[in-house]
Amino acid sequence: MKFRTLLRHLREGCKNIIRNGWMSFASISSIFISLFLLGAFMLLALNVNNFASSVESKVEIRVFLQLDIDKAKMDEVENKIRLIPEVKKVTLVTKEQGLEELRKNLSDEGLLDGYDDASNPLPDSFTVEVFKPQSVSIAAAQIEALNTGDETAPITSVKYGEGKIETLFKITNAVRTIGLVIVLALTVTAMFLISNTIKVTIVARRREIGIMKLVGATNAFIRWPFFIEGALIGMIASILTTVVLLISYAQFVTLTQEGLGLMMLSLVSVQEVGLQISGVLIGLGTLIGIWGSTISIRKYLKV
Spatial distance between the Cα atoms of 78 and 83, rounded to a whole number of angstroms: 9
pLDDT above 70 covers a percentage of the chain that reads 77
Q: Which long-range contacts (CB under 8 A, 24 or more apart) does 96-99 make?
A: 96/120, 98/122, 98/123, 98/124, 98/125
As a dihedral over the C-alpha atoms of residue 261, residue 262, residue 266, residue 269, rounded to 10 degrees, the angle is -50
- 271 vs 5, higher pLDDT: 271
Residue 299 has a pLDDT of: 65
* DSSP character string of 13-80: HHHHHHHTHHHHHHHHHHHHHHHHHHHHHHHHHHHHHHHHHHHHHT--EEEEE-TT--HHHHHHHHHH
> Range with the lowest mean pLDDT among 19-28, 155-164, 228-237?
19-28
Q: What predicted TM-score, i.e. pTM, was given to this entire model? A: 0.69
Residue 74 has a pLDDT of: 87
Q: End-to-end distance of the chain based on CA atoms, in angstroms?
A: 24
pLDDT band at 3 (very low <50, low <70, confident <90, very high): low
Residue 113 has a pLDDT of: 54
Question: What backbone torsions phi and psi does residue 65 show, to the nearest 5 degrees?
Answer: -105, 170
**Side-chain-facing half-sphere of 222: CA atoms under 13 Å:** 25
Type of residue found at 29: S
Spatial distance between the Cα atoms of 183 and 45, rounded to a whole number of angstroms: 8
Residue 48 has a pLDDT of: 82
- 99 vs 31, higher pLDDT: 31
Residue 18 has a pLDDT of: 76
For 50-65, how does the pLDDT look when each residue is reduced to its tens digit (9 = 90+)?
887 777 777 888 888 8
CB 111 within 8 A of CB 136: no
- 192 vs 33, higher pLDDT: 33
Type of residue found at 151: E
> Range with the lowest mean pLDDT among 92-101, 123-132, 293-302?
293-302
Q: Which of 187, 193, 200, 197 is nearest to 281 (CA)?
A: 187
Q: Say whether pLDDT at 109 is over 80.
A: no
- Average the pLDDT over 178-190 and give the result: 80
User: Burial letters for 255-285: b for 16+ Cβ neighbours within 10 Å, e otherwise?
Assistant: eebeeeeeeeeebbebeebbeebbebbbebb
Q: Say whether pLDDT at 243 is over 90.
A: yes
According to the per-residue pLDDT averaged within each range, which of 13-17, 44-48, 202-206, 245-249 is highest?
245-249
Three-state secondary-structure class, residue 253? helix
pLDDT band at 13 (very low <50, low <70, confident <90, very high): low
Residue 204 has a pLDDT of: 65
For 66-103, how does the pLDDT look when each residue is reduced to its tens digit (9 = 90+)?
888 888 888 888 899 899 999 988 988 887 777 777 66
- Average the pLDDT over 163-169 and give the result: 80
Q: Say whether pLDDT at 205 is over 80.
A: no
Query: Which residues partner with 158 through β-bridges?
Result: 63
CB 128 within 8 A of CB 139: yes
Residue 58 has a pLDDT of: 79
Query: Which residues partner with 6 through β-bridges?
Result: none
For 36-52, how does the pLDDT look when each residue is reduced to its tens digit (9 = 90+)?
888 888 888 888 888 87
